[in-house]
Structures are given as structure tokens and as C-alpha cells.
Structure 1
Amino acid sequence: MRVGFIVNPIAGMGGRVALKGTDGVVEEAIRRGARPIAPDVARLFLHELSNYAEARDLGFLTGPGPLGEDLLAEFDFPYEVIRHREVGYREVLGVRVPDTNSDDTKELVRRMLGRVGLIVFAGGDGTARDVFTVAGKTVPILGVPTGVKMFSGVFAASPEDAARLVAEFVGGNAELVERDVMDLDENAFRHDEVRPKHYGRALTPYAELLLQGAKEPTKTDEAEDVDAIVEALAEELEDGIYFLGAGSTVKKLKDLLGINGTLLGVDIVEIKNGRARLLVKDAAEKDLLKFAGEKTRIVVTVIGGLGFLFGRGNQQFSAEVLRRIPKENIIVVATPSKLRNGFIRVYTGDREVDERLRGYIRVRVSPWMERLVKVV
């Protein structure tokens, strides 16, 4: 089988620096200390794929230079390059960045149609949208998660799972299902406004546990339950430093504590003598590292539909941050609908940290009850 392989080399750069995306803000991300992460994630995908016997007969069709060619050159897979144009580079504050855009993705997909049995792309929701806009349902697509939000249902849970899913698909052990392609207005998202748009349903390889779900809002009939859980939790918080995560559930806690926190970012709060004080609003990874320690606590919720605790939309909680905070200091709040799969996911890109977080974690599901939920 021949597989299309496209890398968005700037995807995900805005995550750790609290930009909630990278579209149109690459320069700002670099000013805040961001560096490209997509090539490393895509490289991990190819490395994992090379270990599967089913991948021995795979060939790739890819884009020039940073769009795929550079990474495939590091492995033994046969590949052909679509040289639709010469891809240049630009330097921003000492960081060399490929001069690529969404038109490159669309043109590569256009030239792959009819020549591949699957298109694998490394990127985020914007890349998924670009691939689907051209491919439609003419060819299956699969995302290697390298973006910030990744609310679409066409992404594997991790680059390792993407590799396994490709192997299962090639071996005839993965069915094709229709999954939602979604994207948000990133500029509005950075200003705490959620404006999702549904672009359609793509054909995607599926095997149990390897593919993530699509983002879902909190159910209306659970809103009162969330209020009750948050009110009970607010009364129980001890004095100390807290990292309050993203999402409407934790935002209710921020409001109840009387702080002007963000809806979609991470805020650093100090509680002293029962009163909360906002230390850092919309914190980046570097801010969290200044306060992370054995006594620091984290309050987070599970992203509805995706089932992720860490690794989607909150990359400020990096492996280095989570390494410094005991697992028992992570307070998880979630309504039962967010736990319907029976497990929740974490993916920091650091296997040691992910392994420490796996096992079981307590999740507050009502004002008076916690549930032990498996972390995978």
C-alpha cells in the first residue's frame, strides 16, 4: 500500500506558551520561547511504524523538505516526493522556521488523490480541516497529534497509537468509520470564546482504544451537578498554590473563588487563610515551572468527548511540570458523561511521566463521591 504523509512543521508551537494554537502567531510563539515540536512527534510516529512487520511493504508519497521528505529520509521506507514548489525558510529570533502554509497541505492532498490508500498527516485541527477540505471521503485520513487542541475525531490518541493503527489498517484489522472534523476560531479561542465549526465527517481507520473521540460540550442536564461539585470542592481547598486548568467546569471554580481567571487557559492561584489570590493569569509552561513543587496542587477536568486529562488543549502542563508535582496532588473533577468510556487518557510525550500518571486516579463526580478511574 502507498500512504500519503504530510507534516505541518509549525503545528503545536503555541501550546506550551499559552497561545492555544499556532495559526497566524508563529512569531509571537517564538518570542515567548516556543520551538517546533511537530517534526519530533512525526519522527516518533515513523520510528514506531518501522517496528511493525505490516509496514515492510509500505511506500509513501510526501511533500518536499519539512513537509515530509526530511523525516522519511531518516528511515528505510521507500518514498516519492511531490515537488509542488520550492519550500524556503525564514529566521525568527534565531529560530529557523519553514515557510509553509495551508495551501501546501491542500495542494499535496490534491496531488495524492487516486495515488494513495490512506493519508496520514501530522498537525492539529487546522491541518485536519485542510486535508479534509480536499480529500472529502475519497480517501481515509488519519491524524498524528502534534497540534494544541485537536478536537476532531480523526486523530490517533498518540503518535505511537497512530503507528499501530496504520499497521492494523494495512493488515486488514482496522475498519473504516466516519469521524467529525472540527476546528475553532483560534483568535476567538485566545480570548476565551469558543466558536467551533463542524466541517464534515471523514473516513478514518478505527481500532479500539487507538483513536480519540471528538470534542463534546458539557451536557445541559449536568450543569447543576457541576455547580454542586464545584461548590463542595471550593469549601475543601486548603491553603497553598493551585494550578487551575482550562474548561468550563474549572472556570466555575475560578468564579466561585472570586478570581478573574481564564476559561481556556491555566491560572496560578494562591489560597491563604481561605481567600484566593490570582498570581498568574493564562500561565505558560515557564510560569508553572516557577511554582511547581511537592506541595503544589492541580485542578483539572476531563475534555468531554476526547477523554484527555493532559495532552489536549493544556500543553502548559508539560512533562517537566507534571514531573515536579505528586500524582496525589492532582484533583480531577468530571461529570459521569465524561467518564463513560471507563478510562481517561494522558499524553505528555515523556514515557516516564505518562507511566507515573497511569494506573488509577480519583475523580470527583459528585459533591460527596469520588470514583477511581483508570488512566491510560
Structure 2
Amino acid sequence: MKIGLIVNPIAGMGGKVALKGTDGVVEEAIRRGARPIALDLARLFLHELSHYPECRKIEFLTGADGLGEDALKDFEFSFEVIKHRKIKYKNVLGVEIPDTTSEDTKTLVRLMIDSVNLVVFAGGDGTARDIYLAIDKKKPILGIPTGVKMFSGVFAASPEDAARILVEFLKGKAKVIERDIMDLDENAFRHDELKPQHYGKALTPYVEFLIQGAKEPSKTNEAEDVEAIIEALYEELEDGIYFLGAGSTIKKLKDMLGIKGTLLGVDIVEIRNGEARLLVKDAQEKDLLRFIDRNPKIVVTIIGGLSFLFGRGNQQFSAEVLRHIPKENIIVVATPSKIEKGIVRVYTGDREVDEKLKGYIRVRISPWAERMVRVI
């Protein structure tokens, strides 16, 4: 069986450095300290896949150098490289990155579409959209999550889960169904405007619990419930340092505290004698680490549809940050509809940290009630 593999080499670089994405801002991401992560996550996918005897059936068709070849050459998979053009590299502040664009992704898809059974890609929503536009519904696609937001429904929950889905696909046990392709206006996103757009539906191999949902808008009839939960939480906050996460739910808390926080970023706040002070607006991972020795608490919500607590759109809460935060210092607020599946997800890329977070966590679902929800 032939499988296409395409890597977007800059995907995800904007996450930890609070850029909400990487398209068009890769130099700024590097200036803030970001480094490429997509190839490493593609290697995690391939490493997991290599454990299954079914992988011996696979012949990969991939792009040159950082577009896929550099990941595959570290393993013993059979693969063929499509050299559609010579890939040049550029040095940005000492970091070497392939000089590629979305056109390289689309070209590779068009060149492999007639030869492969499935296209697997490492990237985010922008990469998913590019592949969908080039492939339409001629072949199924599956995303290895390496971007920042990943609101589309074509992504596995983790690189390792992408490998497990591919194995089920090889065995003929994965249903191929239509899944939403979503993307945001990243420039608007960086200016605290949420402008999601639905581009269509792609064919995707589906295995329950291994593939994520697509982003769902907040339910308008729950606005009063959210307000009541936040008001109750506001009254209970003790003095200390708080890392306040992204989203409209937590933004209500920021407004109630009287700080000019971000809608879509992480803000660091100190409460002293009942008064809140904004210490860092739109914080990066390195900002959070500066306050890690002051016993901070995290306040976050769950992304509707995706069921993610950490790992989608809030990579500032990295494994390095979460390693130092006790589980009891994580305050989760959400309306009942966001936890109706009975699970929430975390993925930091660090097995030890993910295991620490797994089990059960308290979720505040009303002014007077909490629910224990399983973390997977």
C-alpha cells in the first residue's frame, strides 16, 4: 500500500512563543526563540508506526528534504522521494529552515494523488486546507497534529494516534468518513478576533477516541451559565499568581478582574489583597517559566468539539511549564456541553507530563457544582 507523507517544516513554531500560528511570521517566531518542531513530531509518528508488523506493507511517497524525506530516512521504511524542485534553505538568526511555501504542499499532493491510497501530513489547519484544496475528495487525508490551533476534524489526537489510525486503515478497520476542514484568519486571530471559516469536508479514516473532533462554536443559550460560573469563581480566587488561559470563557474572568487581558492568549495576573494586576499580557512559554517558582495556578477551559485542555491553541502551557504545576493547581471551567463525551484530552509531547495529567480532573460546570472528568 502506498501512503503519501508531507511535512510542513515550519508548522507549530508560533505556539510556545504566543504567535497563535506560524504563517507569515516564521522570522518573528525564531526571533522569539522558536525552533522547528514538525519533523520531530513526524518522527514520533513514524517511530510509533514502526512497532506494528502492518507497517511492512507500506511504501511511502514523500517530498524532498524537510518536506518528508528527512523524517523517513531515520527509519527503515520503504519510500520514494518526489523531487518537484530543488529545496533551498534559508538561515534566520542562526536557524536553518527549508524555503518552502503552501504551493510546495499543493504540488506534492497533485503529483502523488494518483499513486497513493492515503495522504498523511504533518502540519496545522493551514496545511490541512492546502491539501484539501488540492485533493478534494479524490483520496482520504489524515493529519499528524504539529500546528498551533488544529480546529479541523482531520487530525489524530496525537502523532502516535495518527500511527494507530494508519494501522487500522491498513487492516481495513478504519471507516472513511467526511470531516470538517476549518481554518482561522491568523492575522485577525493575533488581534483577538476569532474568525473561523469552514472550507469543506475531506475524507478521513476514522477511529473513535484516536481522532479529534472539529472546533464547535459556543452555544448561545449557555452564555448565562458561563457568566454564573465565572462570577462564582471570581469570588473564590485567593491571593497569588494566576496563568489565565485563552477563550471567551476565561476572557470573562479577565474582564471581571478588571485587567485588559487577551481573548486568545495566556495572561499572567497577580491577585493581592483582592486586587488584580496584569503582570504579562499575551505571555510566551518563557514568561510563564519566570513565575513558575511562585506556586502559580492555571485557569483554563476546554475547546468545544476538540475536547482539548492542553495541546491545541495554548502551547504556551508546554511540558516544561506543566511539569512544575501540581494538578490541584489547575482550575478548569466549562459548561456541561463541553464535557458531554465524558473525557478531555491533553498532549504536550512529553509522556511523563501527559501521564501526570491523566486520570481525572475537577471541572467546574456551575456556580455550585463540579464534575470529575477523565483525562486521556
What TM bracket, shorter-length normalisation? over 0.9
1:309/1:344 contact within 8 Å kept: yes
C-alpha contact (below 8 Å) 2:241/2:294 kept by paired residues: no
2:41 partner letter:
V
- The corresponding residue for 2:371 is 371
SS in 2 for 1:204: strand
* 1:206 equivalent in structure 2: 206
* Inter-partner Cα distance in structure 2 for 1:354 and 1:72: 26
What displacement does 1:112 show? Answer: 1.0
Q: What is the rounded CA distance, in whole Å, between the counterparts of 2:194 and 2:98 in structure 1?
A: 29
For residue 186 of structure 1, what is the aligned residue in structure 2?
A: 186
Q: 1:341 deviation in Å? A: 1.1
Where 2:353 maps in the other structure, the secondary structure is helix
| Aligned: 1:307 with 2:315 | no
One-letter code of the match for 1:348?
Answer: T
**Structure 1 residue 306: Cα displacement:** 0.4
Q: Distance in 2 between matches of 1:181 and 1:148?
A: 15
Aligned-partner SS, 1:212: coil
Q: TM-score under structure 1 normalisation?
A: 0.99
Cα distance between partner residues in 2 of 1:341 and 1:38: 30
Q: CA RMSD in A?
A: 0.6
Residues in 2 aligned to 1:54 and 1:104: alpha-carbon distance in whole angstroms: 30
User: Could you tell me how far 1:295 is from its partner in structure 2?
Assistant: 2.1
CA shift digits 1:39-76 (9 cap, x unpaired): 10001101111111111110000001110111111111
Partner of residue 140, structure 1? 140
Amino acid across the alignment from 1:333: V
User: Structure 1: how far apart are the matches of 2:151 and 2:261?
Assistant: 23
Q: Any unmatched runs of 5+ in structure 1? A: none
Question: Partners in 1 of 2:273 and 2:26 — Cα distance?
Answer: 42
Deviation per CA, 1:180-215: give whole Å up to 9, x if none. Answer: 001001011000001111110000001110000000
Q: How many residues align?
A: 376
Q: Which runs of 4+ in 1 moved over 2 A?
A: none
Partner residue in 1 for 2:345: 345
Deviations 1:154-191 (A, max 9, x none): 00000000000000000111101110001001011000
Q: Distance in 2 between matches of 1:264 and 1:133?
A: 27
1:61 and 1:79 in contact (8 A); partners too:
yes
Residue of structure 2 equivalent to 1:166: 166
Q: Name 1:71's counterpart in structure 2.
A: 71
Partners of 1:9 and 1:35 in 2: how far apart?
A: 10
Cross-structure match for 1:154? 154
- Residue type matched to 2:226 in 1? V
| Cross-structure match for 2:274 | 274
SS of 1:366's equivalent in the other structure is: coil
User: Residue 24 of structure 2 corresponds to which residue in structure 1?
Assistant: 24
The range that moved more, 47-56 or 222-231, is 47-56
Classify the secondary structure of the residue corresponding to 2:293: coil
| Alignment correspondent of 2:45 | 45
The 1:266/1:251 distance shift into structure 2, 3 A limit, reads same
TM-score after normalising by structure 2: 0.99
Contact 1:293 1:325 survives alignment (8 Å)? no
Alignment check: 8 A CA contact 1:180 1:200 kept: yes
- SS at structure 2 position matched to 1:79: strand
Q: Structure 2 stretches of 5 or more lacking a match?
A: none
- The alpha-carbon deviation at position 100 of structure 1 amounts to 0.7
- The aligned counterpart of 2:223 is 223
User: In the alignment, is the contact (CA less than 8 A) between 1:54 and 1:167 conserved in 2?
Assistant: yes
CA distance, structure 2, for counterparts of residue 162 and residue 35 of structure 1: 23
